[in-house]
Amino acid sequence: MAESFLTDEEYENWFSDLGGMRKRVAHALPVRPGMRILDLACGYGYFTAELARLDRSIHVTAIDLREYDVERAQETALERGVGPRVKALAMDATAMTFEDNMFDLVANFGGLEDIHMTRGEDGVKATFQEAARVLRPEAGFCFTAVPPEQARTPAQRLETEVFSFICGATWLTEARYKDMLGQAGFELEDRQVYTTGRKLTPKQAKKEMRFACDKVPEYYGIKTRSFDEAWARFGPEIQKHGLGQFSRMVLFRTAGTADS
């Protein structure tokens, strides 16, 4: 698989767009007019906005742990013209306060590694169970992840290793995600792979790694490895291959809970 490096100009806004990957994933979801959608671990709300853009009758509730992220998600919705149909709330995805059977679809784009970082593997499992609880009968749960065995290039492999090493932001294997879905009562309908064909330069990778080392303790109270330690371990390979950033993702789509 051929990959090209981002230019510094592209890098400045790359994460907010990812080469249109969020839009492509949103359009692949089983969305119908009038749906109430939950976007969990929404981050800055870039995927939330893509969901709301699918139809003017759709309403999206977005949740994340940090008030700052929730505020940014609401701002993103306003900036992208869907503010009135987006409601962002500070909430733990592993213990949601919503009533049962509230949503027609639960979605997530790339947030499971952060749930693992803050709540561990048990937190990811609890999130799947909570998704099943808040969904209406026969409604589906769809999410994207970067299973390590899906890596096709050294840069993609490094992505799954570097941030797990720094702060425990860990992607699980496809088999583990499928197992957790089954335990929560979901039936996996299909999966689809999305790629960007792009990667970070060593200079850009250093910036991402320094951000994780410096800000994760401040934002989440989680101890991280130092940048020097992380660079000593991974720097030579990153210098040679670059670093992936959501460059190859798998979309998991369920057909609803098994007991619906």
Q: Could you read off the pLDDT of 86-97 as tens digits, one per residue?
A: 999 999 999 999
pLDDT at 257: 56
Q: Which fold is adopted by the domain 4-257?
A: Rossmann fold (3.40.50)
Measured CA to CA, the distance from residue 171 to residue 111 in angstroms comes to 10
Query: Mean of the pLDDT values across residues 165-180?
Result: 97
Tokens encoding 34: 């009038």
pLDDT at 2: 83
Name the pairing type of β-strands 248-257 and 135-145. Answer: antiparallel
pLDDT at 152: 96
User: Nearest 5°: CA angle at 123, between 118 and 126?
Assistant: 150
pLDDT at 85: 98
**Is the pLDDT assigned to residue 259 strictly greater than 80?**
no
Query: Mean of the pLDDT values across residues 149-163?
Result: 97
pLDDT one-digit tens code per residue, 192-241: 999 999 999 999 999 999 999 999 999 999 999 999 999 999 999 999 99
- Which of the pair, 6 or 138, is modelled with greater confidence? 6
pLDDT one-digit tens code per residue, 240-252: 999 999 999 999 9
Helical pair 154-167 and 227-241, crossing angle rounded to 10 deg: 180
Which pTM does this prediction carry? Answer: 0.96
Res. 186 pLDDT band, cuts 50 70 90? very high
Domain boundaries, the chain: 4-257
Report helix, strand or coil for 224: coil
Query: Mean of the pLDDT values across residues 92-109?
Result: 98
Q: In the chain, count of helices (H) and strands (E)?
A: 9, 9
Helix, strand, coil % (nearest 5) of the chain? 50, 25, 30
Report helix, strand or coil for 76: helix
pLDDT at 258: 45
**Which residue has 């692949």 as its token pair?**
28
Query: Mean of the pLDDT values across residues 45-53?
Result: 98
- Distances in Å between the Cα of 242 and the Cα atoms of 149, 150, 187 are 18, 17, 37
Query: Mean of the pLDDT values across residues 20-34?
Result: 97
**Is the pLDDT assigned to residue 256 strictly greater than 70?**
no
Q: Please tell me what DSSP assigns to residue 84.
A: G
Long-range contacts of 77-81 (CB under 8 A, 24+ apart): 77/45, 77/48, 77/49, 77/52, 80/49, 80/53, 81/53
CB neighbours (10 Å) of residue 101? Answer: 12
Question: Measured in whole angstroms, how far is the alpha carbon of residue 55 from the centre of its chain?
Answer: 22
Query: Mean of the pLDDT values across residues 76-100?
Result: 98
pLDDT at 1: 66
Measured CA to CA, the distance from residue 253 to residue 43 in angstroms comes to 21
Tokens encoding 223: 């101890």
CB neighbours (10 Å) of residue 77? Answer: 25
